[in-house]
Structure 1
Amino acid sequence: MWVDPDDDPRESDAVTTDERGALLDGLRHFRLTLEMKCAGLDPEQMARRSVPPSTMSLLGLVRHMAEDERHFRRLAGEDSPRIYRTAEDRDADWNGAVADPAVVEEAWRRWRSEIELTDRFVAGFADLGARPGGEGQLREILMMQISEYARHCGHADLLRERIDGRVGQ
């Protein structure tokens, strides 16, 4: 077991009774799962690549998800350039994930900052049918974000198992 089920931060006694609550609980669950999969690792372990030729690493996942969370800024109409990706290196979120404590710290800071902004943005909409930025309904955008986290948490599971054998939850 990763953590004792009684101590799992993803679980709560709150009962979800509506669509918004269910979507936000799902998003919270996968954000915490990513954080748990990275817990206790040093910069070298965070930056360790999966299998060649892939550049995927846990650190790269954190950086990648910060970029994904940033999408909500653009929906809000902000001029929000990419954090890591550039025209020259579209995979800079992965390629720049190097075993440097400052890079790891910055990735976590960015990810948490983007999550905070996403949460404030979503809280500003009473109607999940709203179409922020002229895109899909907010409910669809949240589902896509949950799906992106779920997919990458599966990757994180495999990456973590490769690092130290920890699996599950």
Structure 2
Amino acid sequence: MTGRRGQFFDGERSGDRFAGPATGDERFLLTDVLAAQRATLELKCAGLDAELALRSVEPSTLSLLGIVRHLADVERRWFRRVLAGQEVPALFSSEADPDGDFDGAAPGPGAVAAAWEAWRDEVAFAQSFTAAAPDLGVEAEDEWRGKVSLRWVLIHMIEEYARHNGHADLLRERIDGAIGV
């Protein structure tokens, strides 16, 4: 289906993301909405490779690849470092280069595949951690936020993905005119 500004995203991959139940168990609802947001990111990036590194507009370093790298770091931070207490470094940013996730998003050999692999690994860890947690009230101490619960982290992750998926809408439209949900 073609829109006034370009191609609409359509088909199986886009239509079922938000079709889950809207009532029921809190853990299921939160993880289902988060899964839909994660699927939206994949959809916004589908069919692209080196184009993922195209920047929005100067002076911004925002790109789809940067968003994938950023969300891999965000998943890692909240689920591995904060909730699971693992002492692991960020993957794409650091204290010395806090914007490395975006600034370093270049279409070099294997960079796109490495970013997706890191993101998928962190998502898998987050899903396993959440499924194994005795309840959503599991708490941990965070240096920025103080005491946080798994419930709060899931809500924060939904918000984080929703914000960046909005950016991804605009970035994808700029690349090839594709629009949609």
Correspondence for 1:118: 126
Over residues 30-77 of structure 1, what are the superposed CA-to-partner deviations in whole Å (9 max), with x where a residue is unaligned?
A: 10000000000121x100000110000000000000000002101201
**Whole-angstrom CA distance in 2 between matches of 1:154 and 1:6:** 18
- Which ranges in structure 2 are unaligned for 5 or more consecutive residues? 1-7
Correspondence for 1:80: 88
Structure 1 residue ranges, 4+ long, deviating more than 4 angstroms after superposition: 11-16
Q: How many residues align?
A: 168
TM-score w.r.t. the length of structure 2 is 0.86
Aligned pair 1:138/2:150, yes or no?
Answer: yes
Aligned pair 1:149/2:161, yes or no?
Answer: yes
**Post-superposition offset of 1:24:** 0.3
Bigger Cα displacement from structure 2, 61-70 vs 78-87: 78-87
**Post-superposition offset of 1:127:** 1.5
Q: Which one has a larger percent helix, Structure 1 or Structure 2?
A: 1
Judged with a 3 Å threshold, the aligned counterparts in structure 2 of structure 1 residues 18 and 116 are, in CA distance, closer, same or farther, namely same
**Whole-angstrom CA distance in 2 between matches of 1:7 and 1:36:** 7
Instruction: Report sequence identity in percent.
Output: 48
Correspondence for 1:18: 25
AA aligned to 1:63 is R
**Post-superposition offset of 1:101:** 3.9
AA aligned to 1:41 is L
Judged with a 3 Å threshold, the aligned counterparts in structure 2 of structure 1 residues 6 and 121 are, in CA distance, closer, same or farther, namely closer
Correspondence for 1:42: 49
**Post-superposition offset of 1:8:** 3.0
Does the CA contact (< 8 Å) of 2:13 and 2:43 recur in 1? no
Bigger Cα displacement from structure 2, 92-101 vs 55-64: 92-101
TM-score w.r.t. the length of structure 1 is 0.92
Over residues 110-161 of structure 1, what are the superposed CA-to-partner deviations in whole Å (9 max), with x where a residue is unaligned?
A: 0000000111111121311221347312111110011000000000000001
- Please point out which of 153, 159, 166 is paired with 2:171: 159
- Which ranges in structure 1 are unaligned for 5 or more consecutive residues? none
- State the SS of the aligned residue for 1:159: helix
